[in-house]
Amino acid sequence: MSEVLQLGDLAIELIQKDIKNVHLSVHPPHGRVRIAVPKNMTRERVRVFAISKLAWIRQQQKKLREQARESRREYSERESHYVWGKRYLLTILEKNEPPKIELLHRKLRMTVRPVTDEVQRAALLEGWYRELIRQRAPDFIERWQKQLGVEHSKFFVRRMKTRWGSCNPVRRTIRLNTDLAKKPIECLEYVIVHELMHLLEPTHNARFVRLMNHHFPSWQQCRNLLNRLPVRHEDWRV
């Protein structure tokens, strides 16, 4: 069950759960704030914690407001799409044969059956992006596991609305956002390093930053690049 913690004009969704640590998050598209806390944490301690994080919350809300977003995609002729940071014009070829996608110079050719609608075209491209990540990620993962001295159990590629990646340090699994296939390849490497680093340090504390600085000195430039690039159009009602 959730309740609302009101701090001036800021309404925070407060959830008490059977957890050990406090989890604070700011969600798109409008900067909704959610805080999950241990069941035994007093309301006053929660309030003090939230107040201490107000500057961070406002900063995250500002980022969300300023984040560039792609226009809604219709998967029609000569529509712009991106692959590894490069722009391609979509061209549609209708044929009675299995659907496929090919990169031809500066064009992204989608072969579909004549009855294929927008939803099916979107699913085809989504699956193709997912396969690109599955092909490129293993090399990065293998290289960085050796450098960091860690070992993951499995990685997944999925559509994610609010994260580029995630890590479960207990299960030693990592998840990568399908949309990383649209971004420059160094962004995929950065996210993989970031998530593997959580096998050494689960939180984003000072030790995590030191480890990232030591092993991947350009990580902040990659993060800033990723944050500057437009993110996909989302229907947040879904």
Tell me the pairing of strands 154-158 and 165-168: unpaired
**Overall pTM > 0.85:** no
What is the structure's pLDDT at 160? 82
What is the structure's pLDDT at 121? 94
What is the structure's pLDDT at 7? 86
What is the structure's pLDDT at 67? 64
- Map out the domains of the chain as residue ranges: 2-66, 80-228
List, for the chain, all residue ranges whose pLDDT scores fall below the cut of 70: 1, 28-30, 66-71, 229-238
- Measure the CA–CA gap between 8 and 132, rounded to whole angstroms: 46
DSSP 3-state assignment of 153? coil
- Measure the CA–CA gap between 230 and 164, rounded to whole angstroms: 13
What is the structure's pLDDT at 148? 96
- Measure the CA–CA gap between 38 and 16, rounded to whole angstroms: 6
Contact residues for 122 (Cβ-Cβ < 8 A; gap 6+): 73, 75
Q: Which CATH number, 3.30.2010.10, 3.30.420.40, 3.10.520.10, 3.40.50.2000, labels domain 80-228? A: 3.30.2010.10
What is the structure's pLDDT at 235? 44
Tokens of 112: 């579909």
DSSP 8-state symbol, 12: E
Contact residues for 39 (Cβ-Cβ < 8 A; gap 6+): 16, 17, 18
